[in-house]
Chains A and B, each alone.
Chain A
Amino acid sequence: MIRTVNVSKIYRGGIPALNDISIDVLKGEFVFLVGPSGSGKSTLIRLLLREESPSSGEIFVAGKNINQLASWKVPMLRRNIGCVFQDFKLLPSKTVFENVGFALEVIGRPREFISKAVPEVLDLVGLGDKIDRLPDQLSGGEQQRVSIARAFVNRPQILLADEPTGNLDPSTSVDIMKLLDRINRTGTTVVMATHDHAIVDAMRRRVIELESGTVLRDQERGVYGYAREE
């Protein structure tokens, strides 16, 4: 589903953010990307979304080499990848329904489809009763659920999550992880970048550890690490 071949990313005049990364993520896998800040997790996610292009190496998403993708086809790539971020990226002036519907509206989905799909996915994330609330009337965990609903409403093949629990307390984080796990069980490939030891250790999924832009460890059913400092 996701394959990177000798991918390096060097920002102008600096140290490589990613250095010769080759990883292979299969369809339906759940993968943690771990490592300290600046290890290259976020860079890798930006490359997968083609917000940036690698300095060298190739990236395949769903069998397509995304570096050779014409720029007008990039939106089609992104429709196939859901995204969740630490800061939720919700629009404060839109209701929960509108925030999720917006993602469908701007890719040209008809209104009838939107009015059916949005309540469905909001039920799935457990916010069926808060459909008309504004984001700042919700807790952090609920806001992240909205953002997950928005990422998933289009049923993408891949869900990328960049520190989705970074702003949440541990018990809320567990709920978010349960939700991501459920989404993963529907066959969606999930790649999650995180700092959170407890979550990684509890989930026992594949762990790819990055440090200074290189893969330090790629382990099935792994844990965060041994006595590693944040």
Chain B
Amino acid sequence: MKLGLAAAALAFSVSLPAAARACDSCLAASTPSVQMAFIMGSIFLSVTPLALVGSAVWWIWRRAKRLAAEEEAGVIRLPSAPARTVRRS
């Protein structure tokens, strides 16, 4: 049933390509330069969040690895400075 629906959808989109051209880069782009701008914009906006999340995961993974190594080696980290301290006289 699902396969049949998928095949029907594919056949529909192949037989009526104009209906499938619903994205901005096909319809709103009047010139090749605008079309290229739309394509570049789509790529940029798709890749940026993936790159951000990817770098965050990589950074956390590296940090976890370092902290685990420090713990194994018995490194004791002192807490950071308190929020308020007494002023020097």
Q: Do A and B come from one complex?
A: no
